[in-house]
Amino acid sequence: MTVQVSEISLPNRQSGQSAQAELRDAIDEQPLLDWMTRWQPFTADVLRDLAARGVPKSQWPQSRHWNWGAKMAEVSGLIAFRGFCVTCNGVTQGLMRVDLTPLAREDTQAGKPLVYVEYLEVAPWNRGDGGRTPHYGGVGSALIAAAVKLSIDEGFRGRIGLHSLPQADGFYRDTCGMMDLGPDDGYQRLRYFEMTETQAQAFLREEAPE
């Protein structure tokens, strides 16, 4: 399978400069290796630090138990599922898995297909856990933009949907401009967010002006 690679730019929050990065429409061996050999040890350090400082577990990263190796293995060979990653300086900075089969719920687009973002996670050094300065910004937005563009390519007009971990509610609502359809009783009461065609166009204008 040919992997599509797009050049993107990420702000380096520590240096104030922007860095060239790549968006890839696959999660193959290298991103999973990075997750195992770089993300996992970094996350373990963060958790040790949070525990030592007595930070309540409710404030620990809520995706800390995600196993990307298992997540990609369970959909291997299934054409409904796609993976994306962002790399910068040769290291994976963010991962996303999407499902192309769910249907929209919001009244104006109910029953129409969308790209459902099942999992999206940025590398632990790109989060501000425990007051740290994130390394690269814009990784989550770049992945959401990839989901929107995939939705357009598939004829879904930019519609996307997702259930958000509580720590990310503000990102999807305020940064991505998605519609908050409230807690979902059928999905651990996580809030369900959806992006309409109009919102998708507005998001892309903001995120990835051509």
Catalog residues that contact other proteins under the rule CB under 8 A. Answer: 1-2, 4, 77-80, 100-101, 111-113, 153-157
- The residue whose two tokens read 């109910």 is 110
C-alpha to C-alpha distance for 193 and 206, rounded to whole angstroms: 19
Would you tell me how many other CB atoms lie within 10 Å of the CB of residue 143?
Answer: 23
Size (the chain), residues = 210
Please identify, using beta-carbon distances, which residue of 43 and 109 lies nearer to other proteins. Answer: 109
Rounded to a whole number of angstroms, the minimum distance from the CB of residue 208 to other proteins is 16
Residue whose CB is less far from other proteins, 21 or 115: 115
Residue 70: both structure tokens together: 């298992």
Closest CA to 144 of 109, 108, 111, 168: 168
Maximum Cα–Cα distance for the chain, whole Å? 50
Closest contact distance (angstroms) between CB of 175 and other proteins is: 26
Residue closer to other proteins by CB (options 113, 137) is 113
Residue with Cβ nearer other proteins (67 or 101): 101
CB of 6 to other proteins, least distance (A): 11
- Find, among 155, 154, 158, the residue nearest to 144 by Cα: 158
| Least distance to other proteins, CB of residue 101, Å | 5
The residue type at 26 = A
Closest CB to other proteins among 25 and 34? 25
Kindly tell me the number of DSSP H helices and DSSP E strands found in the chain. Answer: 6, 8
Q: How far is the CB of 112 from other proteins (least distance, A)?
A: 5
